[in-house]
Amino acid sequence: MDLTLTDEQEMLRDATAGLLAKLSGPEEVRAAEAGGFDPRLWDALVEMGLPAMTLPEAIGGGGSTLTDLGVALEECGAALATVPIVEAAVAARALVRLGLGERAAAIAAGEVVVASPQAGGALVPGAAGPRVRGALVLDGDALVLAEPGDAPWPAVSTMSPIAAADVPLGASGAFGASVAAETTAAETTATTTLADGDAASTAHALLADEWRALTAAWLVGLAQRALDLGIRYATEREQFGVPIGSFQALQHRLADVATDVEGARLVARKALWALDGGEPEAHAYPAIAFALAGEVAQRAASVSLHVHGGYGFMEEYDIQLHFRRAKTVRLLAGDPRADLQGVADRCFGPVGEPLPDDESVVLGPLDPARRPDRERRDGLEFRLPAPVERFRSEARAFLARHVTDEVIETAHRTGTIHDWGLHRAMAAEGWISAGWPAEWGGQGRSALEMNALTEEMYLSGAPVDGLGVATLVAHTLLHEGTEWQKGEIIPKVLSGEVMICLGYSEPDAGSDVAACATRAVRDGDEWVVNGQKMFTTLAHESQYVFLLTRTNTEVAKHKGLTMFVVPMDTPGIEVTPVHTMGGERTNITWYDDVRVPDRYRVGEVDGGWKVMMTALVFERNSAWYGEAVRLLRHGLDHARASGRIDDPTVRERLARAAIGNEVANLLGWRAAWLASTGALPGVEGTMAKLATTEHYQRAADDLIDVLGADGIRRHGDLHAPADGWIEATFRHCQVTTIYGGTSEVLRGIIAERGLGLPRARA
């Protein structure tokens, strides 16, 4: 796995951005409104070699990949380049595949030939104007090259400049000549059949998929620029004496958009990567990428326009250009809801032709045996290294043996999402310490391998909440603890001997952990602790509590905190069970004159906030992706068993769940990949957690709605659809946007640390 661009791709990106800054600024975009085509920009891009960069060098192309072109197209989208760059590139590639290399070479030399992603001649993007010499269109069961005569195809007036035209295909075409102008055009349009029957359908399907994936990259660039415009305005515009970017409501909307854009970028790049390498994802990802990028681009432009207030609606402000273009481009392939049906076709099989689970790319990690045999490519690489895949396979086999139905049922019945038998078996196998260096008894596994293990645990339904918390604290002690703590506590955690719970939240503090009121007062070599903690999950199974206390009331609240790791058998600690709506057991813990030796203090006195920040780096990840995949499986199994798999409303919901899962997966792997390079993915991990848990809740809400009234039947009811697991998931997932930092806290982190917005005001 490698998510960096190559040096050559970065040079291409920078060169494209530089050219567009000169030739496709807001004024040039406005000037191109009338015709929808900027000839000066087109000629410059042709000279740069962009339309033909993926063609063979023998016919004047650059021999580059679709992924390379996608990097440049992100910049074209950002600049709203008013030329049919995607349509021409796709047409040229199709012509080469059809044996018409000479005609493709003409595109490399500057001739404008475009391709339509839709069947028929309706509204072909980029087909209008005197420079256009042809359009590839699927006409019935034939793929034809339509060529205008002396009179060019007239442009259709649209919401945004795209030089679209109705390409007349004659009486046999999908769109006959119904008015005088169309009759004239039809009479002068020549059509050449390039393929027919199945060959035509296959050729057009690949053409359309390349268009979707490349257009997704273009839309990601538009979304990023729209977001940038919103951030810039929010930073500069002042109301009530402060920048509006300090208003929490705006920060949160922009943080959501930023997270969406990063997810869409990863999906679009993976779609192009898959097409380049003939990967299994090439079947579904172009449809996923286009549906997602279209929605994200429209949302990004809409939110940014809203941030601009009334000014965003004025034509002199640039954001309205992005708003109009986002919607226009999204509609070029038809109804966006039909796009979702297309995603369902690719992910679950066409109506009446269900796809086997092991053939789908959205029901969990793919078997490496399904991938074509090839050498690793330079630059973007979404395949996991072979050692990671081998480790995943070992972990999956181990979990299949130990995560029995009884283990899952016991966790569900008791609400204790921990099993000592499984926990100790994992310790004996070395899984708990797998990511630790050899001097700690670990295996030195990489961050990628550990992310694979986490995925497999959650995909299996393993009750491992305690494991995550214990290793989180152990990692924090490794960074912030004393030598005694490292030697005394960490080995016991890694050997599976002890568990650790978190003592952060309080009744009157909630997410404001700095409002901690539990007091720790020094008494010689000991501290006396008094207070109360909420949501100390697994306190009844733990040997230690990672306890945040107030040690100084004379300074700012976040500066007067101190952290301890306190043995749970210390006199004065009391545990009271609390049962949640989701079926889990958590606890209230009480501390009544609890005497804690100073050796259990973690970090400096009044330095607890720093320790907390270290712990948060290890807490936020997208582990819930595995649970979301299990939810999708339950929904899909029910749709098949109930005979509703062909219901468009059900397919749309399943498609949305699949798209969200893929975003969660890629954002999680991005954070893991960054960690594997030695970086601390604070903002990236925060985005992964935000996107995953918010999507998880939406998907559960969607899928329980599919069940209707029967959806309220619980697990254990013989008549409960999906054995009640969708209902159980719906209740459980509500807490995921709270644990590990509420979504609001995460949005604040993304806004301030990721987007550079001013410190928030309520």
Backbone φ, ψ for residue 193 (5° rounding):
-80, 125
Show which of 603, 619, 635 is a domain's final residue. 619
How far apart are the C-alpha atoms of 67 and 672, rounded to whole Å?
A: 22
What are the DSSP calls for 62-99, one per residue?
A: ----HHHHHHHHHHHHHTT--S-HHHHHHHHHHHHHTT
How far apart are the C-alpha atoms of 153 and 687, rounded to whole Å?
A: 46
How far apart are the C-alpha atoms of 193 and 213, rounded to whole Å?
A: 26
> What CATH number should be reported for the domain holding residue 552?
2.40.110.10
Both 459 and 551 in a single domain?
Answer: no
Query: Do the Cβ atoms of 229 and 318 come closer than 8 Å?
Result: yes
- Residue 662 domain flag: no
Both 553 and 415 in a single domain?
Answer: no
- Residue 422 domain flag: yes
124: helix, strand or coil: strand
How far apart are the C-alpha atoms of 342 and 538, rounded to whole Å?
A: 44
- Residue 104 domain flag: yes
Instruction: Give the mean pLDDT per block of 10 residues along the chain (762 residues).
Output: 95 98 97 93 97 96 96 98 97 97 94 93 90 95 93 91 87 36 61 96 97 98 98 95 95 98 98 97 98 98 97 94 96 94 97 91 94 86 95 96 96 94 94 89 91 94 88 91 96 94 88 88 97 95 97 92 97 97 95 98 96 76 82 96 96 98 97 91 92 97 96 94 95 90 92 93 68
Q: Which two tokens stand for residue 683?
A: 């903002």
- Residue 197 domain flag: yes
Both 132 and 188 in a single domain?
Answer: yes
- Residue linked to tokens 């023998």: 58
Query: Do the Cβ atoms of 668 and 692 come closer than 8 Å?
Result: yes
- Residue 449 domain flag: yes
Query: Do the Cβ atoms of 542 and 501 come closer than 8 Å?
Result: yes
Q: What's the farthest any 2 CA atoms get from each other in the chain?
A: 99
- Residue 44 domain flag: yes
Show which of 186, 216, 246 is a domain's final residue. 216
Both 17 and 136 in a single domain?
Answer: yes
Q: Are strands 132-139 and 142-147 parallel, antiparallel or unpaired?
A: antiparallel
> What b/e readout covers 438-476, taking b as 16+ CB neighbours within 10 angstroms?
eebeeeebbbbbbbbbbbbbbbbbbbbbbbbbbbbbbbb
Both 428 and 529 in a single domain?
Answer: no
Both 504 and 586 in a single domain?
Answer: yes
Q: What is the pLDDT of residue 620?
A: 53
Encoded amino acid at 605, one letter: V
Structural domain count of the chain: 3
Query: Do the Cβ atoms of 98 and 63 come closer than 8 Å?
Result: no
Both 456 and 507 in a single domain?
Answer: no
Q: State how far the alpha carbon of 607 is from the alpha carbons of 349, 481, 513, 565, 603, in Å.
A: 56, 12, 14, 14, 6
Q: Are strands 112-119 and 526-533 parallel, antiparallel or unpaired?
A: unpaired
Per-residue pLDDT tens over the stretch 609-656:
999 888 876 765 556 889 999 999 999 999 999 999 999 999 999 999
Write out the residue range of the structural domain in which residue 39 sits.
7-216
Q: 172: Cβ–Cβ under 8 A, 6 or more apart, which residues?
A: 139, 140
Degrees (nearest 5) of the Cα angle 647, 267, 136? Answer: 75
- Residue 757 domain flag: no
How far apart are the C-alpha atoms of 47 and 37, rounded to whole Å?
A: 17
Q: What is the pLDDT of residue 178?
A: 34
Query: Do the Cβ atoms of 625 and 455 come closer than 8 Å?
Result: yes
Active site residues: 619
Percentage of the chain with pLDDT > 70? 96
Both 153 and 93 in a single domain?
Answer: yes
Per-residue pLDDT tens over the stretch 428-475:
999 899 988 888 888 999 999 999 999 999 999 999 988 888 888 998
Both 435 and 550 in a single domain?
Answer: no
Q: What is the pLDDT of residue 590?
A: 97
CB neighbours (10 Å) of residue 7?
10
Both 456 and 604 in a single domain?
Answer: no
Both 440 and 514 in a single domain?
Answer: no
- Residue 742 domain flag: no
Show which of 619, 654, 678 is a domain's final residue. 619
Both 438 and 573 in a single domain?
Answer: no
Per-residue pLDDT tens over the stretch 622-633:
568 899 999 999
Q: What's the pTM? A: 0.94
> What CATH number should be reported for the domain holding residue 61?
1.10.540.10
CA dihedral 136, 138, 141, 143 (to 10 degrees): 10
